[in-house]
Structure 1
Amino acid sequence: MNLSKLALAAAGAFALASAASLVATPAHAWGKTGHRITGKIATHYLTDDARAAIADLLGPESLAEASTYADEMRSNPDKFWQETANPFHYVTLQQPHDYHADDCPPEGDAFSALEDFTATLTSDSASRQEKQLALRFIVHIIGDLHQPLHVGSAALNDRGGNDVKVVFFGEQSNLHRVWDSGLVDHQQLSYSEFSHWLQRRITAEQANTWATPDPYTWIRESSKLRDEVYPQTDEPYLGWDYVYNYTPIMKQRLQQGGVRIAAYLNDVFAKAASNEG
């Protein structure tokens, strides 16, 4: 399905969303800093062909810049942004850890959107503007799927931790927001500083091991981590102990998200070049 058809179909189906599909309705995965980190890290692992194809589409716009576009456009009054695109940032699993076709609601989710935007990106009939949007969404969605609470659980029924109210260093918050931005912003680093620190610590062996373009793998990893990141007590205060315990997980998911953005785009553009040949 191309982008224009996707927008029309999803808009018509939006009202049919089931209760299960609304379990995880997050705001902004990783926040701007986290998404830019994954985009910046990805640039280190692109093939020459992928790098050239991206530059041809985006010009001077970097993957770090492109990574936040899908969130920055959320206030656009167009129906695509206000209705159709809302579910494209998360998945909700009926089973504990594996994504299945029947997990996808009528209006779509991050997994189905990734497939559709990939088809648009490699389509001979899609316009340049449609391909630019598709590429920006692909970078964003892959980052989203590496945030553990963007892989929601129908059984937990807490909207990806949005309903889990906490106090993070004295400020009212919720668990989802802590993972979107709280842990990342607590480092008090710019995205360029943070991405530099994280990327230089990725070993060649890790980069090779992590470089899977398979979204089923990313989702399975996030779902298992999701079950680990909930506070172990009913105490709503999250402070230094929580930061100490979960910052290493946050850092690794940002590193893996960056490596996987590159792996996915390398695979997509390699297949597209092969089909052209």
Structure 2
Amino acid sequence: MTIQFKTRKWFQGASIAITAMLALPQTAHAWGMEGHEAIAALAWKYMTPTTRKKVDALLAMDQDTLTQPDLMSRATWADKWRSAGHGETEPWHFIDIEIDHPNVVSACSAAADRANPASNGGAQPCVISQLDRFERQLSSKDTSVADRVLALKYVLHFVGDLHQPLHAADHDDRGGNCVKITVNNTKSLNLHSYWDTYVVKEIDPDPQHLADSLAKDITPADKKSWALGNSKQWAMESFQLGKRYAYSFHPPAGCDASRPPIPVSSGYDSAAQKVATLQLKKAGVRLAYVLNHRLRSIPLSYFTNLQKQAPASDNNG
């Protein structure tokens, strides 16, 4: 199968698309609120004191009301914004790399666009291209306060998205959204939702407590090794985990609403928890690394002077 960019909402053939979309489950949000909040809380532990001050200053300028203004809540903002009638941002949250014919370039061939803000999206955007663009927007000396605040919120979110295996791996099934499963012979949900929220809540439903627990197991060697690489390499890590673990029970490709749920074993559930735990750790460490790196070039005086300016204008995209 040739890899082609696609959103998880669109299907070829108008009549087929309408019928299929009525029957298919809704697209889930990567890691759910709990996962994204835990990643942000974990990242806070690894930010430098100066980065923390800069992040706090930017968050204080944000007047948006979709979420609470704290760091953990703002890490969920991008999902809230998408659900508030901005479906055009949906492709920004994932990259569909087919497990049978993986090709990250053809799955996301968005060219770098340095002339326009990242919020414009551009052609064939995906989580890799948009994360890279928002990182540049966050660190550029020419970025307005409102656009820098917006970039921070997207970076907080997209680093997390990039580490959810089914936001990278795909089997022509909308990243597992079309695959119905049952867990423990009772709970019925789709495969994507399982990896987004169910498995995270199994590990620990309290985001702050989860972050505290994850931090206890992260060694200095982990921090050093996980900070290496770039968004494309991190996406391929997630893809490999998705292929090896998320799709390990070999569900059929494609979307067919008539298929019955597939039971997953306790062994699958146990392995998923281990994979999710690892990915949450990596996402937290890497988010801190990205923010430390990207905000380093902006002097602290810029941030301390923010409070003297008028509040940031509506920066919702």
Q: Confirm or deny a common fold (TM above 0.5).
A: yes
Distance 2:141 2:92 in 1: 23
8 Å Cα contact 1:97/1:224 also seen in 2 = no
Does 2:166 match 1:149?
A: yes
**Shift, 1:94, TM fit:** 6.0
Does 2:88 match 1:88?
A: no
Aligned with 1:227 (options 235, 240, 243): 243
Q: What does the per-residue CA deviation read over 1:116-144, in whole Å, with 9 as the maximum and x for residues that have no partner?
A: 21232223443322211111111100100
- In the TM superposition, what are the counterparts of 1:107-256 in structure 2 within 5 Å? 107-153=124-170, 156-169=171-184, 170-212=186-228, 214-229=230-245, 230-232=247-249, 236-256=262-282
Distance 1:133 1:101 in 2: 28
Distance 1:102 1:191 in 2: 32
Secondary structure of the residue that 2:182 maps to in structure 1?
A: strand
Name the count of aligned residue pairs. 252
Moved more, 106-115 or 177-186: 106-115
* Structure 1 match to 2:113: none
**Shift, 1:207, TM fit:** 1.3
**Shift, 1:226, TM fit:** 0.9
Secondary structure of the residue that 1:172 maps to in structure 2?
A: strand
Distance 2:50 2:102 in 1: 34
8 Å Cα contact 1:24/1:90 also seen in 2 = no
Distance 1:200 1:237, change over 3 A: same
**Shift, 1:102, TM fit:** 6.5
Does 2:49 match 1:33?
A: no
Moved more, 173-182 or 24-33: 24-33
Distance 1:207 1:124, change over 3 A: closer
Distance 1:159 1:48, change over 3 A: same
Secondary structure of the residue that 1:237 maps to in structure 2?
A: strand
Q: Kindly provide the amino acid, as one letter, of the partner of residue 212 in structure 1.
A: L
**Shift, 1:201, TM fit:** 1.1
Q: Kindly provide the amino acid, as one letter, of the partner of residue 211 in structure 2.
A: S
* Structure 1 match to 2:72: 64
**Shift, 1:267, TM fit:** 1.3
Distance 1:74 1:189 in 2: 24
> What 5-or-longer segments of structure 2 have no aligned partner?
10-26, 62-68, 111-122, 252-260, 303-317
Distance 2:130 2:176 in 1: 22
8 Å Cα contact 2:3/2:107 also seen in 1 = no
Secondary structure of the residue that 2:30 maps to in structure 1?
A: coil
TM-score by length of 2: 0.72
Distance 1:121 1:101, change over 3 A: farther
* Structure 2 match to 1:11: none
**Shift, 1:86, TM fit:** 1.3
Distance 1:53 1:31 in 2: 26
> What 5-or-longer segments of structure 1 have no aligned partner?
1-17
Q: What does the per-residue CA deviation read over 1:143-179, in whole Å, with 9 as the maximum and x for residues that have no partner?
A: 00000110034xx211111122211231321111110
TM-score by length of 1: 0.81
**Shift, 1:213, TM fit:** 5.6
Distance 1:227 1:255 in 2: 20
Task: Determine what percentage of the aligned residue pairs are the same residue.
Answer: 28
**Structure number, greater radius of gyration:** 2
